[in-house]
Amino acid sequence: MFPYPSGTLHLGHLRVYTISDVLARFKQMQGYDVIHPIGWDAFGLPAENAAIERGINPQTWTMQNIAKMKTQMMAMGGRWDWDREIFTCDPSFYKHTQRIFLMLHERGLAYQAESIVNFDPVDKTVLANEQVDASGRSWRSGAKVEKIKLKQWFLKITEFQQPLLDDLEILAKGNAWPERVLSMQKNWLGKSEGTRVRFLIESSSGSKQWPDVEVYTTRADTLFGVQYLALSLNHPVVIDMAKGNPYLRSFLATAHKLPPDSKAGFVLPGIQARNPISSILDCDTLVQSLVPVYAAPYVLDDYGSGAVMGVPGHDNRDNAFWRENNKHQPCLTVIKRASNKSTGGSDLYASDMQTPMLEKGFLADGLGKFSGLSSDQAVTEIISQLQAAGLYAKRTENWRLKDWLISRQRYWGTPIPIVHCPSCGPVPVPESELPVELPQLADSFFKGKIGNPLQDLQFWKSTRCPKCDGPAERETDTMDTFMDSSWYFMRFLDPDNHGDPIAAESSDAGLPVDVYVGGVEHAILHLLYARFISKFLATTPLWPSGGGPGNEGEPFKQLITQGMVHGRTYSDPSTGRFLLPEEVDLSEPQSPKIKSSNRVAMVSYEKMSKSKYNGVDPGATIAKYGADATRAHILFQAPVSEVLAWDDASIAGIQRWFRRLWRLSNAHFIPKAIIFQPPKILDSSLAEILTQRYVWGLFDLPGNNTATRSFEKAPPVPTLFSIIKSTESDLWVLTQETIARVTESYDRTYALNTVVSDLMSLTNAIWDMKHSSPLGSVLQWVSLCAVLRMLAPIAPAFAEECWERLHLITSTQALTSTKSNISDGRGGVASIFSCPFPTADLQAMEMLSQTQKCAVMVDGKLKFSTEIPIPPSDLDDKEKLKKWAVRQLRATDIGETWLGEGGKLGWPRVEDCKGEAGAGGEGWAVHVVRGGRTINFVTPKVVEVDQDGEWMGVVIPKKTGVARKKSKGKTTQKGEKNEKVIKSDEMKQTDEGKETNDGQKVAQERETEPAPKLLL
Ligand SMILES: [Zn+2]
Question: Between the ranges 128-132, 636-640, 865-869, 982-986, where is the mean pLDDT highest?
Answer: 636-640
Residue 134 DSSP SS3: coil
> Quick one: pLDDT at residue 994?
37
Residue 984 banded pLDDT, cuts 50, 70, 90: very low
Nearest by Cα to 898 from 954, 852, 955, 854: 854
> Quick one: pLDDT at residue 946?
52
Ligand 1 centroid to residue 499 C-alpha, Å: 27
Ligand 1 centroid to residue 459 C-alpha, Å: 19
Nearest by Cα to 887 from 921, 922, 928, 917: 917
Q: What percent of the chain has pLDDT over 70?
A: 90
174-210 per-residue burial string, b: 16 or more CB within 10 A, e: under 16: eebbbeebbebbeebbeeeebbbbbbbbeeeeeeeeb
Query: Please, what is the angle between helix 58-75 and helix 618-625, to 10°?
Result: 20
> Quick one: pLDDT at residue 300?
84
Cα dist. 814→35, 669, 676, 810, 820 in Å? 32, 20, 13, 9, 6
Please indicate whether residue 25 or residue 647 has the higher confidence score (pLDDT).
Answer: 25
Summarised one tens digit per residue, pLDDT across range 417-447 is 999 999 999 999 999 999 999 999 999 888 8
Is the per-residue pLDDT at 6 higher than 90? no
> Quick one: pLDDT at residue 503?
97
Ligand 1 centroid to residue 469 C-alpha, Å: 6
Residue 186 banded pLDDT, cuts 50, 70, 90: very high
Residue 228 banded pLDDT, cuts 50, 70, 90: very high
Whole-number Å distance between alpha carbons of 302 and 172: 30
Residue 303 banded pLDDT, cuts 50, 70, 90: low
Ligand 1 centroid to residue 418 C-alpha, Å: 12
Cα dist. 972→287, 923, 940 in Å? 94, 18, 15
Ligand 1 centroid to residue 99 C-alpha, Å: 21
Ligand 1 centroid to residue 159 C-alpha, Å: 29
Ligand 1 centroid to residue 467 C-alpha, Å: 5
Ligand 1 centroid to residue 749 C-alpha, Å: 58
Cα dist. 125→117, 330, 753, 900, 1006 in Å? 10, 44, 43, 75, 88
Whole-number Å distance between alpha carbons of 318 and 311: 6
Ligand 1 centroid to residue 403 C-alpha, Å: 28
Is the per-residue pLDDT at 654 higher than 90? yes
Residue 710 banded pLDDT, cuts 50, 70, 90: confident
Ligand 1 centroid to residue 97 C-alpha, Å: 24
> Quick one: pLDDT at residue 963?
37
Whole-number Å distance between alpha carbons of 309 and 277: 12
Give the 3-state secondary structure of 91-124.
HHHHHHHHHHHHHHHHCCCEEEEEEEEEEECCCC
Whole-number Å distance between alpha carbons of 361 and 1009: 75
- DSSP character for 670? S
User: How many Cβ atoms are within 10 Å of 424's Cβ, its own excluded?
Assistant: 14
- Kindly give the residue spans of alpha helices, DSSP state H, lying in 127-194: 161-166, 168-172, 179-189
Range 747-763 average pLDDT: 96
Would you report the helix, strand and coil content of the chain in percent, each value rounded to 5?
35, 20, 45
Ligand 1 centroid to residue 480 C-alpha, Å: 27
In sequence order, what are the beta bridge partners of 266? Answer: 295
Range 106-117 average pLDDT: 92
Ligand 1 centroid to residue 461 C-alpha, Å: 15
Ligand 1 centroid to residue 100 C-alpha, Å: 23
Ligand 1 centroid to residue 297 C-alpha, Å: 42
CA-based radius of gyration for the chain = 40
Inter-residue contact 94 to 491 (CB < 8 Å): no
Ligand 1 centroid to residue 40 C-alpha, Å: 37
| C-alpha of 405 from chain center | 30
Is the per-residue pLDDT at 944 higher than 60? no
Ligand 1 centroid to residue 102 C-alpha, Å: 17
> Quick one: pLDDT at residue 1009?
36
Range 742-766 average pLDDT: 96
Whole-number Å distance between alpha carbons of 89 and 57: 13
Ligand 1 centroid to residue 453 C-alpha, Å: 25
Whole-number Å distance between alpha carbons of 95 and 772: 68
Ligand 1 centroid to residue 430 C-alpha, Å: 13
Ligand 1 centroid to residue 423 C-alpha, Å: 5
Ligand 1 centroid to residue 483 C-alpha, Å: 27
Range 754-762 average pLDDT: 97
Residue 943 banded pLDDT, cuts 50, 70, 90: low
Ligand 1 centroid to residue 464 C-alpha, Å: 8
> Quick one: pLDDT at residue 477?
94
Ligand 1 centroid to residue 425 C-alpha, Å: 7
Ligand 1 centroid to residue 439 C-alpha, Å: 23
Please state which of the ranges 256-260, 347-351, 691-695, 784-788 shows the lowest mean pLDDT: 347-351
Ligand 1 centroid to residue 427 C-alpha, Å: 7
> Quick one: pLDDT at residue 522?
86
> Quick one: pLDDT at residue 420?
97
Residue 703 banded pLDDT, cuts 50, 70, 90: low
Residue 308 is inside which H or E element, if any?
strand 307-310
Ligand 1 centroid to residue 412 C-alpha, Å: 27
Ligand 1 centroid to residue 533 C-alpha, Å: 30
Ligand 1 centroid to residue 485 C-alpha, Å: 32
- Which regions of 413-456 does DSSP assign to beta strands (E)? 418-421, 425-428
What is the biggest distance separating any 2 CA atoms in the chain, rounded to whole angstroms?
138
Mean pLDDT of the chain: 86
Residue 948 banded pLDDT, cuts 50, 70, 90: low
Is the per-residue pLDDT at 954 higher than 70? no
Sign of the dihedral defined by the CA atoms of residues 897, 903, 909, 912, in that order: negative
> Quick one: pLDDT at residue 353?
66
Residue 407 DSSP SS3: strand
Whole-number Å distance between alpha carbons of 404 and 111: 10
Residue 705 banded pLDDT, cuts 50, 70, 90: low
Ligand 1 centroid to residue 417 C-alpha, Å: 15
Range 458-484 average pLDDT: 96
Ligand 1 centroid to residue 422 C-alpha, Å: 7
Residue 309 is inside which H or E element, if any?
strand 307-310
DSSP assignment of 700-711, as one string?
Answer: --TT-TTSPP-S
- DSSP character for 747? I
- DSSP character for 546? T
Whole-number Å distance between alpha carbons of 648 and 419: 56
Summarised one tens digit per residue, pLDDT across range 377-387 is 999 999 999 99
Range 832-848 average pLDDT: 87
Ligand 1 centroid to residue 111 C-alpha, Å: 18
Is the per-residue pLDDT at 972 higher than 50? no
Cα angle: 284, vertex 289, 293; to 5 degrees? 155
Sign of the dihedral defined by the CA atoms of residues 621, 622, 628, 629, in that order: negative
Summarised one tens digit per residue, pLDDT across range 236-272 is 999 999 998 999 999 998 887 787 778 999 999 999 9
Query: Please, what is the angle between helix 179-189 and helix 525-537, to 10°?
Result: 80
Ligand 1 centroid to residue 474 C-alpha, Å: 12
- DSSP character for 749? I
Please state which of the ranges 266-275, 518-527, 651-660, 754-763 shows the lowest mean pLDDT: 518-527
Ligand 1 centroid to residue 421 C-alpha, Å: 5
> Quick one: pLDDT at residue 988?
37
Order the strands of the 146-155 sheet from edge to edge.
125-127, 110-120, 146-155, 404-405
Nearest by Cα to 941 from 973, 919, 964: 964
Is the per-residue pLDDT at 121 higher than 90? no
Please state which of the ranges 68-82, 701-715, 738-752, 841-855 shows the lowest mean pLDDT: 701-715
Whole-number Å distance between alpha carbons of 570 and 578: 6
Ligand 1 centroid to residue 429 C-alpha, Å: 12
Q: What percent of the chain has pLDDT over 90?
A: 52
Cα angle: 362, vertex 367, 372; to 5 degrees? 30
Specify burial of residue 349 (Cβ count, 10 A radius: 0-12, 13-18, 19+).
Answer: middle
Residue 223 DSSP SS3: helix
Is the per-residue pLDDT at 302 higher than 60? yes
Ligand 1 centroid to residue 426 C-alpha, Å: 8
Residue 352 banded pLDDT, cuts 50, 70, 90: low
Ligand 1 centroid to residue 419 C-alpha, Å: 9
Please indicate whether residue 146 or residue 508 has the higher confidence score (pLDDT).
Answer: 508
User: How many Cβ atoms are within 10 Å of 577's Cβ, its own excluded?
Assistant: 11
Ligand 1 centroid to residue 471 C-alpha, Å: 8
DSSP assignment of 493-532, as one string?
Answer: TSTT-SSSSS-HHHHHHHPSEEEEEEEGGGTTHHHHHHHH
Ligand 1 centroid to residue 479 C-alpha, Å: 23
Ligand 1 centroid to residue 238 C-alpha, Å: 39
Residue 231 is inside which H or E element, if any?
strand 228-231
Cα dist. 591→608, 821, 926 in Å? 21, 53, 55
Cα angle: 957, vertex 882, 908; to 5 degrees? 40
Whole-number Å distance between alpha carbons of 389 and 372: 22
Ligand 1 centroid to residue 451 C-alpha, Å: 28
> Quick one: pLDDT at residue 135?
77
- Kindly give the residue spans of alpha helices, DSSP state H, lying in 769-877: 774-791, 796-810, 812-816, 842-848
Ligand 1 centroid to residue 94 C-alpha, Å: 25
Inter-residue contact 409 to 125 (CB < 8 Å): yes
Ligand 1 centroid to residue 466 C-alpha, Å: 7
Residue 559 is inside which H or E element, if any?
strand 556-562
Ligand 1 centroid to residue 465 C-alpha, Å: 5
pTM attached to this predicted model: 0.77
Ligand 1 centroid to residue 470 C-alpha, Å: 6
> Quick one: pLDDT at residue 377?
93
Residue 317 DSSP SS3: helix
